[in-house]
Structure 1
Amino acid sequence: MIEASTTEIWIVILGMAAGTFLIRFSFLGLVGDRPLPAWLLRLLRYTPVAVLPAVVAPMLLGAKAETDPLRLFCAAVTIIVGVWTKNVLWAILTGLGLFFGLGAFLG
């Protein structure tokens, strides 16, 4: 295990905060209230669809992931709800509710 000093940890945190700020500022501060091109708006619509699998996949298929039936069932239901409703928010809420609800019920 790699040990880091408190100073190194804070440097990483501040660097990531600055990077996040610059990424958001590039859209909000520099673009401002100018209209974005249609091709960019079309591409930005796919951002939630790309982010959701990137967040969930390591929890299901990662090297240290626990591939238990509850996780796989909740992931399958989340995919079904997402395809059925075509709404990422409903898919996330259904998956989380099912995972925590069944997890609490089953123990």
Structure 2
Amino acid sequence: MNSGISDLTVWLVIVVLGIGTFLIRWSFLGALGDRDMPAWVLRMLRYTPVAVLPALVAPLVVWPAATGGQLDPARMAAAAVTVAVGLWTKNMIGAIVAGALTLFAMLYML
């Protein structure tokens, strides 16, 4: 199947995107890595994982590919148990294990 795009164009796009991605990362690590950041920046950076992780996981729970994008009681229960255990114990590993065990148990039962 010929898409009309030459191999040179594909490789050029890959190289340019790679250089762009490197420069974006370097701008934070290379240029600012040895400098002290203001307290307000450090305070806001603490919330980055808390914002990114749910954004990555939520689509997998609400619209899972395994069910064709339909709500799945097993995944919803596992997500609820994970959140509940995390809030109750403040232990991330314990919450993940509890959620995984709930998911496997629910998939087995259903």
Q: TM-score by structure 2 length?
A: 0.64
Residue aligning to 2:83? 79
Please state how far the C-alpha of 1:51 moved relative to its aligned partner. Answer: 0.7
Partner in structure 1 of residue 96 of structure 2: 93
Letter in 2 for 1:106: Y
Note if 1:66 corresponds to 2:67.
Answer: no
Listed one character per residue, the Cα deviations across residues 65-99 of structure 1 (whole Å, up to 9, x for unaligned) are 23211100111112113323445x43773366336
How far apart are residue 21 of structure 1 and its match?
2.3
Question: Aligned with 1:30: secondary structure?
Answer: coil
Go from structure 1 to structure 2 and tell me whether the alpha carbon gap of 1:28 and 1:83 turns closer, same or farther (over 3 Å shift): same
Which deviations, in whole Å up to 9, do the C-alpha atoms of 1:35-91 show, x marking residues without a partner?
11110110011011101111112122349523211100111112113323445x437
Residue identity over aligned pairs, in percent, reads: 48
Larger Rg: 2
Give the aligned length.
Answer: 103
Q: Partners in 2 of 1:66 and 1:43 — Cα distance?
A: 35
- TM-score (structure 1 length as normaliser): 0.66
* Residue equivalent to 1:31: 32
- Does structure 1 retain, via aligned residues, the 8 Å contact 2:81–2:98? yes
Q: Which runs of 5+ in 2 are unaligned?
A: none
Aligned pair 1:52/2:56, yes or no? Answer: no
Shift of 1:23: 2.9
Kept in 1: contact 2:78–2:102 (CA 8 A): yes
1:106 Cα deviation (Å)? 1.1
Q: Secondary structure at the match of 1:66?
A: coil
Q: Which residue of 2 aligns with 1:106?
A: 108
TM-aligned CA deviation for residue 24 of structure 1:
2.0
**Deviation for aligned residue 1:101:** 4.0
